[in-house]
Structure 1
């Protein structure tokens, strides 16, 4: 039986072209909107019209490198946070709560505007004025490299060249005020902190009862990823250090939909041109290993103290897969599809690559047919397809899966997925993926 392959086909680029290097494009969690960072501003595109929806400008004095949408906002209201090389994070709000005339009588002005098949140019320019720059979050000493909201939207994580991660809490949410407090400053990385990512709200997230449900990961130029949790005393502590990459860890993504009630795995990608999967060791496995080998020294991030003394603060994570090496240079971005489980990656070599995990049965069968090849974690993930020079000679800075809302999706509008790549050429490129 032939193994499935993937065709990655270009769709029409989002308009207008930005004509300058773009860093990141982040889809809204529920609405057909895409926020792209470039220069010192953000352009929001409608995924329904594949054209510009609005622009956020005037809030930062230097390059905006990252953006995150705050979830769980009231109908008709948008809020996002931008991270800039001016060492600050900015809070923006778009209020489009004017009543619409939808068929059901409850469609908001915002929902109507982003789902129209055609957007009037004058109306589009007016919408640019709807964004308000509400608040500046200051404290980092150097460039803010990434920003990320927790699943509930209560917490915001920011990271910086100053080697720190800050956690902020939205304390004004109940009163509708823009009031944020710093609840933690985490400074255990030995290099610039490149990215932060919160574990998604899935059943297995709260498996470890001695911590709060929220879990944060941070990636650094020190070649490591750290896992952070809030303990019973309200202190954010590093519970694990993931070591294995031979270069800067550019970022990571949590498994969006783990099987059963398992704790989500973590995918990391690096300047060493590799992608790795990390899994939290189950309690039973930890106890068995400790019984066999006695007390062990655990991760260096917790000072090398024997686990018999600081058992409650330690977690063991194992690298359970290393993807086949496709990229020839640094991998800047990777995205794990919640719908299909397919991972897409891109980077400085201009290549887009797709990978799919094979079942344990399939992997075992493949291994059984080849007596000269040792079974390794790498065999569990297979390359489905690649595209070279996806942005011509330019580097690809970001890749993400998002739902299609454009007319070309037909009856599968809002269900079918596509890829979005963002590159140095300032073109935001959608891609259709066909598995055959």
Structure 2
């Protein structure tokens, strides 16, 4: 319906009763594909992206949601938005079917700066589907994020001298990559990225190299249908996978480095 709705939950002193209030944010003129919350240290800020080529950043003040900023710099559907780690500042990555990734940064006093990565993913194959940042970064670390697209590629990007540059291509999929997720590091020396694809496969990419140049791909599982989404737990040790088979599966790595399915939610019914 082109709108963004937010729900708030208050107990009102009765912890057995949840009181839901609903707020409607109206501004898009097409289907809304994704929403993303900024870190709470910046207040209640929400970003949304749509088929209408727009990104809208919303902010709640005194219980009312309103537009904080509207970005209209893309020429096609904006498919994904993701906020960077809080210590990078208020920065939002936006991936579009026009093949461009935009980095939208609040420079203070509600002024926004935009940097674009042109031809990030091939536009003739419908561009970029998803973007993801790592969390739990060390102070003063290099800004990096990951993207994927209909060119079958996962790409890592880094900021260097104020400009965004391609850091590495990760190649393993044989069809459109549908989603990508960079796992929270929680202080571990290993970086981990999950990607899923139209080819039915989910790969786990790991890197123990401090320079971040050497990544190894391990096939998590070959599903019988397209895999739409991957999502990490807050601790980064459990991966949720959803796909065209109408299932959500949860995966965890064992002590010997093997990944195993620990839960299978089939059409709303949990199976262990």
Task: Bin the TM-score by the shorter chain.
Answer: 0.7 to 0.9
Query: Which residue of 2 is the match for residue 184 of structure 1?
Result: 116
Distance 1:85 1:51 in 2: 32
Among 14, 22, 42, the residue aligned to 2:4? 42
Distance 1:67 1:133 in 2: 14
Where does structure 1 lack aligned partners over 5 or more consecutive residues? 1-38, 97-126, 207-211, 285-313, 364-379, 392-430
1:394-433 map, 5 Å: none
- Does structure 2 conserve the Cα–Cα contact (< 8 Å) formed by 1:44 and 1:55? yes
Distance 1:92 1:281 in 2: 38
Judging changes above 3 Å, is the alpha-carbon distance between structure 1 residues 236 and 56 closer, same or farther for their aligned structure 2 residues?
same
User: For the aligned residues, what is the CA RMSD?
Assistant: 2.5
Query: Which residue of 1 is the match for residue 198 of structure 2?
Result: 271
- Does structure 1 conserve the Cα–Cα contact (< 8 Å) formed by 2:9 and 2:21? no
Query: Which residue of 2 is the match for residue 280 of structure 1?
Result: 207
Residue 217 of structure 1 pairs with residue 146 of structure 2: yes
Query: Which residue of 2 is the match for residue 323 of structure 1?
Result: 220
Q: CA deviation at 1:224?
A: 0.7
The structure where strand makes up a greater share of residues is 2
Among 76, 90, 96, the residue aligned to 1:154? 90
Count of aligned pairs between the two proteins: 261
Larger CA deviation: 87-96 vs 236-245: 87-96
Deviation track 1:191-211 (CA, whole Å, cap 9, x = no partner) reads: 3100011111234x97xxxxx
Q: CA deviation at 1:258?
A: 4.9
Query: Which residue of 1 is the match for residue 247 of structure 2?
Result: 351
The structure where helix makes up a greater share of residues is 1
Query: Which residue of 2 is the match for residue 202 of structure 1?
Result: 137
Residue 62 of structure 1 pairs with residue 30 of structure 2: yes
Q: CA deviation at 1:53?
A: 2.9
Query: Which residue of 1 is the match for residue 55 of structure 2?
Result: 89
Among 101, 105, 124, the residue aligned to 1:169? 105
Distance 2:268 2:224 in 1: 14
Query: Which residue of 1 is the match for residue 15 of structure 2?
Result: none
Distance 1:185 1:241 in 2: 15
Distance 1:220 1:51 in 2: 40
Distance 1:202 1:272 in 2: 32
- Does structure 2 conserve the Cα–Cα contact (< 8 Å) formed by 1:86 and 1:142? yes
Deviation track 1:284-334 (CA, whole Å, cap 9, x = no partner) reads: 9xxxxxxxxxxxxxxxxxxxxxxxxxxxxx933221x21133x32111112
Between structure 1 and structure 2, the one with the greater Rg is 1
Query: Which residue of 2 is the match for residue 377 of structure 1?
Result: none
Distance 2:61 2:166 in 1: 38
Q: Secondary structure at the match of 1:324?
A: strand
Query: Which residue of 1 is the match for residue 73 of structure 2?
Result: 139
Q: Secondary structure at the match of 1:57?
A: strand
Deviation track 1:165-205 (CA, whole Å, cap 9, x = no partner) reads: 01111112xxxx322111233423123100011111234x9
Judging changes above 3 Å, is the alpha-carbon distance between structure 1 residues 69 and 187 closer, same or farther for their aligned structure 2 residues?
same
Query: Which residue of 2 is the match for residue 108 of structure 1?
Result: none
Distance 1:47 1:248 in 2: 38
- Does structure 2 conserve the Cα–Cα contact (< 8 Å) formed by 1:281 and 1:315? no
Distance 1:345 1:167 in 2: 27
Distance 2:243 2:20 in 1: 25
Give me the TM-score of the superposition, normalised by structure 1. Answer: 0.55
Distance 2:133 2:4 in 1: 22
Distance 2:130 2:235 in 1: 24
Judging changes above 3 Å, is the alpha-carbon distance between structure 1 residues 340 and 156 closer, same or farther for their aligned structure 2 residues?
closer
Query: Which residue of 2 is the match for residue 389 of structure 1?
Result: 267
